[in-house]
Amino acid sequence: MTSVANSTGGAGALPTPSVSPRKSVTGTRLWVAVLFLLPAFVLLGALVVYPIGYSVWRSLYDADGSGFVGLKNYGDIFSNDATLTAVRNTAIWVAVAPAIVTALGLIFAVMTERVRWGTAFKLIVFMPMAISMLAAGIIFRLVYEQDPGLGAANAVAKSIHDTFVSSSVYPGARPNETATDLKPSGGGSFTTTGTVKAGTPALLPLVGIAPNRLPGTPENARTASGSGVTGTVWLDFKLGGGGTKGKVDPGEKALKGVKVEAVKGGKVVASAQSGADGTFTLPAEADGAQLRLPASNFSAPYNGIDWLGPTLVTPAIIGAYVWMWAGFAMVLIAAGLAGVDRNLLEAARVDGANEWQVFRRVTVPLLAPVLVVVLITLMINVMKIFDLVYIIAPQPSQDDANVLALQLFLSSFGGGGNEGVGSAIGVILLLLVLPVMFVNIRRLRKERQR
Amino acid sequence: MRSTSSKNRTRRAAKSAAALLAAALALALTGCGGNDNKSSNGGGSSGSSGSVKLPKLNGQTLEVAAVWTGAEQDNFMKVMDEFKKRTGAKVNFVPTGNNTSTFLGTKIQGGQPPDVAFLPQVGVLHQFADKGWLKPLGADAKAQLEKNFSKGWVDLGAWKGKQYGVYAKAANKSLVWYNTKAFEAAGITTPPKTWKDFLSTAQTLSDAGSPAVSIGGADGWTLTDWFENVYLSQAGPEKYDQLAAHKIKWTDPSVKEALTTLAQLWGKNDLIAGGTKGALNTEFPKSVTQTFSGSTPAAMVFEGDFVAANINGDTKAKLGTDAKVFPFPAVGSQAPVVSGGDVAVALKDSKGAQALLTFLASTDAAEIWAAQGGILSPNKEMDQSKYKDAITGQIAKQLLAAGDNFRFDMSDQAPAAFGGTAGIGEWKDLQDFLRNPKDVAGTQQKLEADAAKAYAAG
């Protein structure tokens, strides 16, 4: 103590020779040190230590904060399905999100080093960081919107889907259940239970489309005639209702271009398409066959992916998180990359390593400390993820997207209003973050020693 | 839900409209003061005419807290303008935000309660009364209340033998709104009266190519309203009360029957706009707009009288011509009338607060408020022709015709953790049921488990 004091005292005494060296030593006296540390201690105590202590204390009390319940709140947490889902989802978040963000950041950082407009690219990738979590959440709520006309993600999915699969002419049409023997026969197709006979025209009434919304200008339907195997496909509903179900009434519109298959013993023996007046004629071998309207006539328009449904909601929100934080990882890693000794890379290349080997065996190991910093920072960040989940997940799948921080909020301030359970979740969250912090501190110490 | 972009402009417009209205009212009141029966007990210390006697409160300022914003708030303030004119007391409005009970709880604990507050749930009234935060009604207010309201509505504002609140604003949640064009196209002339008719109407509408029923399943509360209507009509008011108080379990056969009935509709993708999956992605406002606008509008949407505000605000459809309404079909012997409402309570023991409650219980206040549109009053003595439009008048009539057979929204009576929170409890369980309407037994078990937990916690 004294030797340190003396040495610093000596150094400090130099600019003010008039003051004796003895006085300037006061700077290291205990009470002065305490005085100077006091503001920091008060702030830390009031803002960090006290809230932690109070949360621990509060977690042992019931909803009102009046009755002591011991560890019951903790028991409740682990017997509650919602919290268990939250724990599972938080685990998924911690395992997946930081890894993806760091990997993407690494790729971006290495790539931008080599391209011409690297800085511009970096700027764009980093830009989402300037947006608040709340705004990003709202943006992605729109991106993941189900309606392909509104949601960007589904607009892309739909246009890709529609390039490969053409949509049907009469989506949503279906047989009139009460007036026909056409029954669903799996996969969206309909088959008659009876068989068709030559000379008795088959009637295949369909409903489910508004008569004024048929494509083109449909003609009125006509009952087929003739001695062959014939029939009519038509819309058994006219504007304003009326008419007999299952009969071709005047004014009911024909459905043109519907594919009709004749099936015998599970095999298609013939097929035809309905004409402009809704009639079709099958060859003679179709006599005695069942008629089938294949699903291709009716397949509903592709409606995109259910991004925010129960199964995909967590990956979808992680996607939004990656979009936000990839820039952060990239900037840190790029800074680390700038400090890497180029000679080492050159040496590896001279030794005959290809680019992949250079990246894998030289660049990445050299960047390891930075990568660990990024990874750990993100891990801590991800454990307390709240805003994105709260905003993006719609009500019906909020449970499936639940994470610990959200569950903390919901049990404290949601309908239950149980701050005891909320505090208990907070304490558990703290316990989960502690090991990561510990690793981080130890790593920092090691680095300092180096 | 409502746009706030043009708030300033509407405020200004509202202010001038209010001034005009006040002037007109003054004229009307003085004009008919001489020979009208209204003046029988008017006048008095307040010196103004009307059906209610109010004290002079010059120079006082009252604070009223309620959830309303925008147009709803402006409409209410017009009623308050009249109160100011009669008593001289100024009224300040404090919006509470969506979580009224939390907002008021912090205000009260902080020692700054508003004079009068409107509580949206019966459960909150009970909770606040138990904590001793509410002041019972005075004699004047009670007299007005008993004169103008039927017993059912009076009792809703009471708890443990004491009268605390005045149900000045009600909602009728047993309505199905329909797109008249869709009905015409399908050739349907009379709206369905029973559940069976309702289903076959839906089938016909669907055959005619319009999505039959629009369900706002992304908001859990619309689903609880569906269930409550079916249950009230099918199981009857007694069972309804028992279930609301959790005296019978959700695993009761009556619940099974109600859910099975609901599944007759919810289980048919053809009948629901967008199928069940689409319904789960539809919030309440969208469920209204997709019924009255767009390229293939749905035919029917179920919800309370407040749908009118969405139709007026978000679509071009005209109430009474493009959009009409019929009562929720009878599932059992009688069509259900499920109601909601905001109850005015005094949080301070002041003369002003009591005067305000007295005024709110009077026919004068009800008539002024009804004339603004967008509200229903359970006040049975008021002049029903004062409603702004015929449709609201029709809805109000239906509500009053139910007498004391109406029932208050069950989920609003339940603890918030069960019946009033997004993503958990009844809201979530019914959303799961909408996703998988075959699982009646599983849904019942989940409902019972959640209810047991929430009711036990209080």
Calpha distance B288→A285 (Å, rounded)? 53
Whether B125 is covered by a domain: the verdict is yes
Co-location of B65 and B142 in the same domain? yes
Q: Do A210 and B296 touch (CB under 8 A)?
A: yes
Q: Do A210 and B277 touch (CB under 8 A)?
A: no
Co-location of B53 and B186 in the same domain? no
Residues B299/B308, Cβ–Cβ less than 8 Å: no
SS3 A182: strand
Backbone φ and ψ for A199, nearest 5 degrees, come out as 95, -25
Q: What pLDDT is recorded for position A25?
A: 52
Q: Do A396 and B209 touch (CB under 8 A)?
A: no
In A, which residues are within 8 Å of B183 by CB distance? none
Give the residue from B124, B134, B274 showing the smallest Cα distance to B214.
Answer: B274
| B296 Cβ under 8 Å from any chain A Cβ | yes
DSSP state, residue A136: H
In A, which residues are within 8 Å of B206 by CB distance? 207-208
The number of distinct structural domains making up chain B is 2
How close is the nearest chain B Cα to the Cα of A306, in Å? 9
Q: Give the residue from B358, B377, B401 where a domain finishes.
A: B401
CATH number at residue B195: 3.40.190.10
Whose structure tokens read 């000045």? B168
How close is the nearest chain A Cα to the Cα of B313, in Å? 21
Whether B7 is covered by a domain: the verdict is no
SS3 B168: strand
In B, which residues are within 8 Å of A237 by CB distance? 186, 207-209
Q: What pLDDT is recorded for position A416?
A: 61
- Distance of alpha carbon B86 from its chain centroid, rounded? 28
- From first CA to last CA, the distance across chain A in angstroms is 25
Instruction: Report pLDDT digits (tens) over B381-399.
Output: 888 888 888 888 889 988 8
Radius of gyration for the alpha carbons in chain B, expressed in angstroms and rounded: 22
Neighbours of B390 (CB within 10 A): 11
Cα three-residue angle A278-A280-A281, rounded to 5 degrees: 160
Handedness of CA B184, B392, B273, B335 (dihedral sign): negative
Instruction: Point out the residue among A146, A176, A399 whose CB comes nearest to the CB of B207.
Output: A176
Q: Where are the beta strands (DSSP E) in A95-189?
A: 174-175, 182-184
Instruction: Report pLDDT digits (tens) over B6-31.
Output: 334 444 444 444 444 444 444 444 43
Calpha distance B382→B362 (Å, rounded)? 8
Pull the structure tokens for residue B110. 């902080």
Q: Residue B284 is which amino acid? A: F
Handedness of CA B256, B258, B260, B263 (dihedral sign): negative
CATH level 2 (architecture), domain A72-154+307-449? Orthogonal Bundle (1.10)
Whether B390 is covered by a domain: the verdict is yes
Co-location of B316 and B220 in the same domain? yes
Instruction: Give the pLDDT means over successive 10-residue stretches in chain B (458 positions).
Output: 39 46 44 38 44 85 90 89 92 85 82 92 85 91 92 90 92 93 90 94 90 91 94 94 93 95 93 89 90 89 89 88 93 91 92 93 92 87 86 88 87 83 84 93 94 81
Residue window 83-102, chain B: list those with CB within 8 Å of chain A. 102
User: Who contacts B401 (Cβ-Cβ below 8 Å, separation ≥6)?
Assistant: none
SS3 A205: strand
What is the side-by-side order of every strand in the sheet holding A279-282?
Answer: A174-175, A202-207, A229-235, A279-282
Pull the structure tokens for residue B381. 């003595």
Whether B320 is covered by a domain: the verdict is yes
Co-location of B49 and B167 in the same domain? yes
Q: Do A417 and B281 touch (CB under 8 A)?
A: no
Residues B297/B290, Cβ–Cβ less than 8 Å: yes
Calpha distance B161→B426 (Å, rounded)? 30
Co-location of B355 and B449 in the same domain? no
Q: Do A240 and B418 touch (CB under 8 A)?
A: no
How close is the nearest chain A Cα to the Cα of B227, in Å? 17
DSSP state, residue A363: I
Nearest CA in chain A to B422: A395
Output the furthest CA–CA distance in chain A (Å, rounded). Answer: 128
SS3 B167: strand
Whether B3 is covered by a domain: the verdict is no
Nearest CA in chain B to A243: B187
Q: Residue B145 is which amino acid? A: L
Co-location of B276 and B422 in the same domain? yes
How close is the nearest chain A Cα to the Cα of B429, in Å? 9
Where along chain A do its domains lie?
A: 72-154+307-449, 174-297
Residues B342/B118, Cβ–Cβ less than 8 Å: yes
Radius of gyration for the alpha carbons in chain A, expressed in angstroms and rounded: 36
In A, which residues are within 8 Å of B277 by CB distance? 306, 309
Co-location of B194 and B160 in the same domain? no
Whose structure tokens read 């189900």? A146
Calpha distance B428→B444 (Å, rounded)? 12
Give the residue from B366, B370, B362, B372 showing the smallest Cα distance to B18.
Answer: B372
Q: Give the residue from B401, B432, B449 where a domain finishes.
A: B401
| B398 Cβ under 8 Å from any chain A Cβ | no
Best mutation target among B207, B222, B283, B432 (most A Cβ atoms within 10 Å) is: B207
Co-location of B296 and B388 in the same domain? no
Best mutation target among A190, A395, A397 (most B Cβ atoms within 10 Å) is: A395
In A, which residues are within 8 Å of B454 by CB distance? 415-416
β pairing state of B116-119 and B61-66: parallel
Neighbour-count burial for A216-251, b at 16+ CB within 10 Å, e otherwise: eebeebbebeeeebbbbbbbbbbbebebeeeebbee
Q: What pLDDT is recorded for position B176?
A: 95
Co-location of B269 and B226 in the same domain? yes
Q: Do B206 and A63 touch (CB under 8 A)?
A: no
Neighbours of B151 (CB within 10 A): 10
Q: Check if the interface score ipTM surpasses 0.85.
A: no
How close is the nearest chain A Cα to the Cα of B184, in Å? 6
Instruction: Point out the residue among A176, A413, A415 whose CB comes nearest to the CB of B420.
Output: A415
Whether B407 is covered by a domain: the verdict is no
Pull the structure tokens for residue B23. 């002037």
How close is the nearest chain B Cα to the Cα of A11, in Å? 56
SS3 B93: strand
In A, which residues are within 8 Å of B417 by CB distance? 414-417
Could you tell me which residues of chain A have a Cβ less than 8 Å from any Cβ in chain B? 63, 82, 146, 172, 174, 176, 207-213, 236-237, 239-242, 306, 308-309, 394-396, 398-399, 410, 413-418
Whose structure tokens read 């607009």? A155
Spans of chain A, pLDDT less than 50: 1-14, 17, 19-24
Calpha distance A212→A6 (Å, rounded)? 98
Co-location of B396 and B446 in the same domain? no
Helix axes B363-372, B351-360, angle to 10 degrees: 60
Whether B5 is covered by a domain: the verdict is no
In B, which residues are within 8 Å of A236 by CB distance? 207
Residues B285/B351, Cβ–Cβ less than 8 Å: no
Give the residue from A177, A180, A168, A181 showing the smallest Cα distance to A294.
Answer: A168
Q: What pLDDT is recorded for position A245?
A: 80
Q: What global pTM score does this model have? A: 0.78
Print the domain residue range for B306: 175-336+414-457
Pull the structure tokens for residue B206. 């669907």
Co-location of B142 and B258 in the same domain? no
Pull the structure tokens for residue A427. 């304490």
Burial class (CB in 10 A: 0-12, 13-18, 19+), B45: exposed
Calpha distance B191→A380 (Å, rounded)? 59
Give the residue from B17, B7, B449 showing the smallest Cα distance to B251.
Answer: B449
| B310 Cβ under 8 Å from any chain A Cβ | no
Q: Residue A153 is which amino acid? A: A
